[in-house]
């Protein structure tokens, strides 16, 4: 991986497809004409390659906080803050010091609010075990306060995004929603005869769910029920299908269906009577009225320090789904906005790449030490890289580089007809793009 690491040095953009690498150093944000020419050139390399990857037997998409940040940037609203918060003075220094040291030891870089919350929860359990009831109550109340502030910061972008959708029909939020829908449709528009796309996310917010709803994408997760959905140990083979008209035994799978797992929990998950319940919290809600005791009920899972922590219910089931989905022959994993700072997730990805036919596509806005360290551990022939402020920009990615985001039988048939014409060759990019239709099915 030394060649990749060397090419990363001092570069704003980086592309690796197979054995082809390019630092994309010619992009100039002030030269639109030159940029359009470059984008057209790189699109011809990137689009067919990604089209081929989307045809893998097993396809998964892992989204991190970078996706939410990109949506908020397009919508021109502030994203959720990951800045560290102040705990009660009695324990402030101990929590910060331990969080800093653990983040450094794990190669996560600088500690953030998730590291602080995890450390505070560990300290709370220690005080509880030690029988220090007064100290436990003081710290417990403070953790509730911090978790409420953290949850409110996650909820705030949803509120502003939804408010802008209602109040401004032609605003930036509508455009951001269109970009998100197109992004999701690109990966979810697989033929129903293929294995379903499985979307995994470390995000606590509900932007992906909202985008799926608006794009008409049906989600299969582990929750059953309408009024009060409950987390279940479901069979991974559950799916949507319909009976063919005129036949009792012939059925077909419904198109536009994805599997979905939030492997660090969600803003609207709460624990009640030993059950994990999805609260009736609408997108754009003002507060979390259903949750009173945050440290015990709110099911958001800060980054773990040890892999054993992922064994706690329901995260054991979610990580089992992640491992089952990606650790198979001819499996492809696409990451967007994931910073490779979670060792328990990285470990499963590395196990996946032990299978020679597996492949990972890393789409990232930034190139940092965590990504470089991860790349040093894998086989370069199993990775595709689209990195930097050009290729990792969600808007540019959707507009210029991703394959066509729909299953389109008409386009496929038109492409076949054109190919049958004697001496036919595409005269322009519009005609040539017809061939992408059948590649995406």
Give me 128's structure tokens. Answer: 């509880």
Question: Do 4 and 380 form a contact (C-beta atoms < 8 A)?
Answer: yes
Q: Report the C-alpha gap between 337 and 335 in whole angstroms.
A: 7
Q: Where does 112-226 have alpha helices with state H?
A: 113-129, 133-167, 172-188, 207-215
Question: Among 36-40, 220-224, 320-324, whose mean pLDDT is lowest?
Answer: 36-40
Q: What is the percent of the chain with per-residue pLDDT over 90, rounded to a whole number?
A: 41
Domain count, the chain: 1
Does residue 121 lie in a domain region?
A: no
Following DSSP, what letter does each residue of 208-242 receive, concatenated?
Answer: HHHHHHHHT-EEE-SEE-SSS-EE----TT---EE
Q: What's the Cα-to-Cα distance from 109 to each of 73, 202, 342, 369, 373, rounded to whole Å?
A: 24, 18, 11, 8, 12
Does residue 184 lie in a domain region?
A: yes
Q: What's the Cα-to-Cα distance from 15 to each of 25, 72, 314, rounded to whole Å?
A: 10, 25, 37
* CATH code (residue 77): 3.40.50.1220
Give me 98's structure tokens. Answer: 């331990």
Give me 422's structure tokens. Answer: 């004697």
Compute the average pLDDT of residues 275-283: 88
Torsion, Cα 138 143 148 150, to 10 degrees, reads 150
Q: What is the reported pLDDT for 2?
A: 46
Query: Residue 416, SS3?
Result: helix
> Which pLDDT tens digit goes with each residue over 132-155?
888 888 998 898 888 888 988 999
Q: Choose between 292 and 315: higher pLDDT.
A: 315
pLDDT above 70 for 292: no
257-262 and 251-253 as β-strands: parallel, antiparallel, unpaired? Answer: unpaired
pLDDT above 90 for 362: yes
Q: Which domain holds residue 352?
A: 2-81+156-407
Cis peptide before 309 (omega within 30 of 0): no
pTM to 2 decimal places: 0.86
Give me 173's structure tokens. Answer: 């939020």
Q: What is the reported pLDDT for 410?
A: 66
Q: What band does 439 get if pLDDT is binned at 50, 70 and 90? A: very low
pLDDT above 70 for 308: no
Compute the average pLDDT of residues 100-123: 84
> Which pLDDT tens digit goes with each residue over 230-263?
998 876 678 888 888 777 778 888 888 999 999 9
Q: What is the reported pLDDT for 83?
A: 83
Does residue 203 lie in a domain region?
A: yes
Does residue 106 lie in a domain region?
A: no
Give me 334's structure tokens. Answer: 């696409």
Q: What band does 419 get if pLDDT is binned at 50, 70 and 90? A: low
């Amino acid at each position: 991986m030394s060649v990749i690491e060397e090419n990363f040095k001092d570069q704003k953009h980086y592309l690796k497809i197979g054995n082809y690498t390019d630092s994309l150093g010619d992009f100039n944000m002030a030269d639109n004409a030159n940029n359009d020419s470059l984008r057209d050139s790189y699109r011809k390399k990137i689009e067919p390659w990604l089209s081929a990857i989307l045809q893998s037997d097993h396809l998964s998409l892992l989204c991190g906080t970078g996706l939410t940040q990109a949506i908020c940037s397009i919508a021109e609203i502030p994203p959720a803050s990951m800045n560290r918060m102040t705990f009660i003075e009695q324990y402030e220094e101990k929590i910060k010091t331990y969080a800093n040291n653990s983040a450094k030891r794990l190669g996560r870089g600088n500690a953030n609010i998730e590291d602080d919350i995890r450390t505070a929860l560990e300290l709370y359990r220690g005080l509880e075990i030690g029988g220090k009831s007064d100290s436990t109550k003081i710290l417990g109340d403070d953790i509730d306060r911090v978790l409420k502030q953290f949850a409110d910061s996650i909820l705030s972008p949803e509120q502003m995004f939804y408010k802008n959708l209602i109040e401004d029909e032609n605003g930036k939020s509508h455009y951001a929603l269109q970009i998100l829908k197109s992004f999701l449709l690109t990966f979810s528009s697989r033929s129903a005869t293929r294995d379903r796309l499985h979307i995994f996310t470390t995000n606590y917010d509900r932007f992906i769910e909202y985008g799926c709803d608006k794009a008409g994408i049906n989600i299969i997760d582990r929750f059953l029920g309408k009024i009060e959905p409950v987390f279940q140990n479901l069979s991974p083979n559950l799916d949507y299908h319909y009976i063919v008209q005129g036949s009792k035994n012939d059925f077909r799978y419904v198109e536009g269906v994805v599997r979905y797992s939030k492997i660090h929990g969600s803003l609207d998950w709460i624990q009640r009577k030993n059950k994990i319940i999805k609260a009736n919290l609408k997108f754009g809600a003002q507060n979390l009225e259903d949750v009173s005791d945050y440290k015990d009920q709110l099911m958001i899972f800060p980054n773990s320090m040890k892999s054993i922590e992922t064994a706690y219910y329901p995260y054991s089931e979610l990580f089992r789904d992640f491992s089952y989905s990606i650790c198979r022959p001819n499996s492809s994993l696409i990451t967007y906005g994931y910073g490779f700072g979670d060792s328990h997730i990285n470990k499963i990805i590395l196990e996946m790449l032990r299978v020679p036919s597996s492949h990972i596509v890393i789409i990232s806005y930034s190139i940092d030490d965590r990504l470089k360290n991860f790349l040093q551990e894998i086989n370069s022939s199993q990775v595709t890289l689209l990195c930097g402020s050009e290729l990792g920009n969600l808007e540019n990615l959707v507009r210029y580089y991703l394959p066509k985001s729909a299953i389109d039988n008409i386009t496929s048939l038109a492409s076949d007809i054109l190919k049958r014409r004697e001496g036919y060759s595409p005269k322009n990019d519009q005609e040539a793009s017809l061939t992408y239709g059948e590649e995406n099915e």
